[in-house]
Chain A
Amino acid sequence: MRVTFTANGKPVEADDVWEGESLLYVLRERVGLPGSKNACEQGECGSCTVYLDGTPVCSCLVAAGQVQGREVRTVEGLSDENGELGLVQQAFIDAGAVQCGFCTPGLLVQTDALLDADAQPSDTDIREALSGNLCRCTGYEKIMDAVRLASARKCAKAASE
């Protein structure tokens, strides 16, 4: 089948999609957006998290056919049009929250969604919101730092605007 949708604001189409293919597979192998990661393909690790119509979902659990005509935003779409890193991306780098980085794309999307909903989450809120994203390298401490840093910068930015 043919599937058309928008990815990071641009229309994309994929041909010869087998009906069992996931959105994750289509993004990674067919439309040249390998940023979302394939760690479990069972909805357990969150590495494949993308926005689907503005809501973060595990793209490995979404059948390709389900995204027909819908809007997908991936980690590649977190930077702005000029390629400037998004606030959450920058905070992850600055805080040392990236080691192997395989969990990072999913965590970035999930954190972006969290801070959109609540710019100043408590530590427990952060832990709750990110509990579906596994990271095997960092011990999460620096990820907490990164989210707090992104939150602070976001609040500072809002205050100065």
Chain B
Amino acid sequence: MSTRTIQGEKNLQDIRQASKDGIGGSPLRPDGTLKVRGEFAYSSDMWHEDMLWGMALRSPHPRADILSVDISEALKLPGVYAVLTHEDIPGSKFYGLEIQDQPALAIDKVRYHGEAIAIVAADHPETARRAVKKIKVEYEVLNPIVTEEQCLAPEIHGYVHEPHEYKSHGSGNICHSQKLVHGGGVTDEIRALADVIIKSDYEVGMQDQAFLGPESGLAVPAEDGGIDLYVATQWLHVDRQQMAPVLGLPEDKVRLTLAGVGGAFGGREDLSMQIHASLLAQRTGKPVKIVYARDESFFGHVHRHPAKMTYEHGVTRDGRLVFADARIVLDGGAYASASPAVVGNAASLGHGPYNIPNVRMEAIALYSNNPSCGAMRGFGAVQAAFAYESQMDKLAEAIGMDPVELRQLNAMSEGDSMPTGQVIDSPAPVAELLQRVKDMPLPPPLDLENLDVRTLPGALSNTSHGEGIVRGIGYSVGIKNVGFSEGFDDYSTARVRLEVIGGEPVAMVHTAMAEVGQGGVTVHAQIARTELGVEQVTIHPANTEVGSAGSTSASRQTYMTGGAVKYAAEAVKAALIEKGRRRYGWTQSDITLSGGKVVSESAGPLVPMVDLLGDEAIDLTREHHHRPTVPFDKETGQGFGHVQYTFCANRAVVDVDVELGLVKVVELTAAQDVGKALNPLSVIGQIQGGCTQALGLAVMEEIIVKDGKVRNASFTDYLIPTILDTPPIPVDMLELPDPNAPYGLRGVGEAPTVSATPCIVAAIRQATGKALHRIPVRPEHITGTL
């Protein structure tokens, strides 16, 4: 063991030595010290003297008409300050990310298990809990619409939303659909060109983001009649945009400040407690804090869409893909959330990073009485990757080819076209990434002589001493888009200020970027240091006083807000140099900022920045818009829809106890092209975290929904990987710059979550010989006792 630990120290020295604190280095997180001290203020730590606690009454039924709501008993309880229903909402009663179909509090009917009906403010969380219990709701319980068959036959089973209830509502119970045809599509003639055709059905369960920090925040009524909200979110401005109309306030009277965020992974893209806390604060005139309990968190945010998929591929004997035909049905649940965009991703990325001459695809999202689904890491690309990568393994087996070789043979690379017709105009090293994971050393084989049962499947439960354990290896690769797609004007704003403080030049970076743990704050400081040649950078708290930063999602924040910080810093630098030119008449063309000085690269230092700045601050704001994209054609799916693509390949080694159906992932290797690693330590951390969520989806994570009811809304019953379930995750990072991106960088966070799930399943298949068409893989799928 001592060699391991000494090595740990050495790695650290390497990192330190490489670290210049500018981009490409790995300076430590500016919030790290506060976090390890327990002093970092997360949203659930917000506190105000005299504050009240808010809580919601949630529906026990997935579908019901509300006949009456009686709040009188709840109001009588001492310590209760307010009980509100939809009737008390001052403004619009609906909100939504893409379609305003979601009532802030249920009106006349509930559409999913856990929908909020009424809210309470009280002086203690327990008082609030008791008050919630005293609200009497009379329901007429209806049969929930929960299966694809039911959803697609609304004339028999009914509508989740009455047709045309909302302006942009799709037809029937279909929330959104997208078709795609590429090459000759899929006809009998094209089918005839294939030597082998494989058709299978696949299913993905409903995964949860399961961030650790519960939805929470504090709403404080302001003297001007507005609301100040301190909240954990992914996008301050879009929260405000949805909140203000409901609160009946102009946007400038709804001010949001980011409170510490304990993870997000897409689950904080939709509103949760924001409107409820603000309504209660408005009504009571007192600060109101809401902190979800874990079960409420499961009800209070959207999940990853469960999917049913049919995939058909044709291949020639020598391994060339001929055609692919797919249908993806995503269950979007009761409200639209981000379903339309998820469908766009599923359709356009759903055939993987492969050149396939003829393609057909249809992806749809349903409205149902299941829990609402929306954004989660990998956003619409995850479900399809399980299906297309499973198909690649089947095809390889059918023609007797190595599965990595088959993938490499068909791998897309720079200059190739997506099935949408979009030409990939930056590196796409798909074959190389696969080669890299394949070439990495394998972990030592299972040593039955010297084994520690804690490392086996079943681990601490001591279920095996090596008998019945079989090892398997699997491979996969995936593709994910970066940034918001399909014509969305996705932009970010940054303000950079340079001034002299305490005799030193100091840069301040102000953005509305939600730091959700990904490390954006570290990178912003690195960018400012690099561009302005200063040591000291402070990061202003993220709030709505500066322009929108867009969402911390879609792997876009370093690209978008990082880009905005770069451009604002460049503008500040240009302004400072211009000031020097005017004052000193410099004529050199190679003037830049470095080490706290204005320097000419050829002539050396010109003047300390401190002297040039004097008492004046340079304070400039810039926006970064990425290059425009267009919506996909609804019928053909053609169009330049995505900003950037990112690729990750994985190899999984698993041990399976084939008698008990238990799986232990022994090692999960990743190779990813990150364009340029602005902070290698954070990049690797993101890749490892993304792989682990993929592992969760492969073997354990699922929200169990029966007849619309959630059965496992707790960390006791919804399992996320522990440190014992998670193996070493060696990461091989490739840096091929994207000419269109700031610094050449490529979004990082999601690609591993797309690619790592299928390789774990592939490894289990190799160990067991089972077909495994559904994830998460459960013991009974392996033992065949289902």
Contact = CB atoms under 8 A, between A and B. Distances in A.
A143 interface: yes
Interface in A15-47: 18, 20-21, 25, 28-29, 33-42, 44-45, 47
Nearest to B51: A29
23 contacts: A34-B38, A34-B42, A38-B291, A41-B293, A76-B38, A93-B28, A98-B32, A98-B35, A98-B36, A99-B517, A100-B261, A101-B40, A101-B262, A101-B517, A105-B36, A128-B454, A130-B723, A131-B724, A135-B212, A136-B210, A139-B691, A141-B726, A151-B5
Contacts of A123: 1, 4
B455 interface: yes
A123 B517 CA distance: 26
Contacts of B517: 99-102, 137
A101 B688 contact: no
B464 to A, nearest CB: 15
B79 to A, nearest CB: 11
A14 interface: no
B39 A35 contact: yes
A35 B42 CA distance: 9
A82 interface: no
Contacts, number: 207
A39 B47 CA distance: 17
B714 interface: yes
B52 to A, nearest CB: 13
B685 A138 contact: yes
Interface of A: 18, 20-21, 25, 28-29, 33-42, 44-45, 47, 74-76, 78-79, 85, 89-90, 92-96, 98-105, 108, 120-124, 126-128, 130-145, 148-149, 151-153, 155
Contact of B294 (A35, A42, A155): A42
B584 to A, nearest CB: 43
B2 A120 contact: yes
Contacts of A100: 211-213, 261-263, 516-517
Interface in B1-59: 1-2, 4-6, 8-9, 11-12, 26, 28-29, 31-33, 35-42, 44-45, 47
B687 to A, nearest CB: 8
A55 B22 CA distance: 42
Given A89-B37, A98-B32, A131-B723, 16 more contacts: A34-B47, A37-B44, A39-B262, A39-B715, A40-B714, A76-B37, A96-B29, A98-B35, A101-B40, A102-B213, A120-B1, A133-B723, A137-B517, A137-B685, A141-B726, A142-B688
Interface string B253-282: 000000011110100000000000000000
B723 A99 contact: no
Contacts of B29: 93, 96, 98
A38 B214 contact: yes
Contacts of A132: 722
Interface string B508-536: 00000000111100000000000000000
A45 to B, nearest CB: 6
Interface string B189-215: 000000000000000000001111110
Contacts of A39: 212-214, 262, 294, 715
Contacts of B85: none
B452 interface: yes
Interface of A is mostly: loop
A140 B681 contact: no
User: What band does the interface of chain B fall in when counting residues whose beta carbon is under 8 Å from A?
Assistant: 35 or more
Given A102-B262, A145-B11, A40 B715 contact: yes
Contacts of B209: 136
A140 B262 contact: no
Nearest to B36: A89
A49 to B, nearest CB: 11
B177 interface: no
Nearest to B668: A139
B126 interface: yes
A124 to B, nearest CB: 5
A116 to B, nearest CB: 17
A110 to B, nearest CB: 10
Nearest to A18: B126
A129 to B, nearest CB: 9
Nearest to B9: A152
A74 B722 CA distance: 22
B557 interface: no
B4 A148 contact: yes
A38 B5 contact: no
B37 A149 contact: no
A104 B210 CA distance: 16
Contact of A35 (B5, B38, B688, B690): B38
Contacts of B31: 101
Contact of A85 (B37, B45, B261, B715): B37
Nearest to B752: A139
Query: Which of A90, A141, A143 gathers the greatest number of chain B CB atoms within 10 Å?
Result: A141
A139 B667 CA distance: 12
Contact of A140 (B6, B39, B260, B723): B723
A149 B12 contact: yes
A37 B726 contact: no
A11 to B, nearest CB: 20
B689 interface: yes
Contact of A42 (B37, B265, B460, B715): B715
Contact of B5 (A33, A90, A138, A149): A149
Query: Which of A42, A130, A152 gathers the greatest number of chain B CB atoms within 10 Å?
Result: A152
Contacts of A145: 8, 11
B212 A45 contact: yes
B561 interface: no
A36 to B, nearest CB: 7
Given A128-B460, A134-B722, A139-B726, A155 B5 contact: yes
A75 B42 CA distance: 15
Contacts of B12: 94-95, 149
B479 to A, nearest CB: 21
Contacts of B47: 29, 34
B493 to A, nearest CB: 24
Contacts of B777: none
Contacts of B37: 35, 75-76, 79, 85, 89
B716 interface: yes
B682 interface: yes
B577 interface: no
B672 to A, nearest CB: 13
Contacts of A37: 42, 44, 212-213, 262
B191 to A, nearest CB: 42
4 tightest A-B contacts by CB? A35-B38, A100-B517, A102-B262, A139-B688
Nearest to B7: A148
A41 B42 CA distance: 16
A74 B36 CA distance: 11
Query: Which of B5, B11, B45, B518 gathers the greatest number of chain A CB atoms within 10 Å?
Result: B5
A146 B200 CA distance: 44
Contacts of B32: 92-93, 98, 101
A143 B723 contact: yes
Contact of A45 (B8, B9, B36, B715): B715
Nearest to A35: B38
A96 B2 contact: no
B724 A128 contact: yes
B622 to A, nearest CB: 28
Contacts of B8: 95, 145, 148-149, 152
Contacts of A139: 685, 688-692, 726, 729
Contact of A75 (B38, B262, B519, B685): B38
Nearest to B718: A44
A120 B214 CA distance: 34
B716 A44 contact: yes
A137 B749 CA distance: 11
B728 interface: yes
Interface string B210-237: 1111100000000000000000000000
Nearest to A79: B37
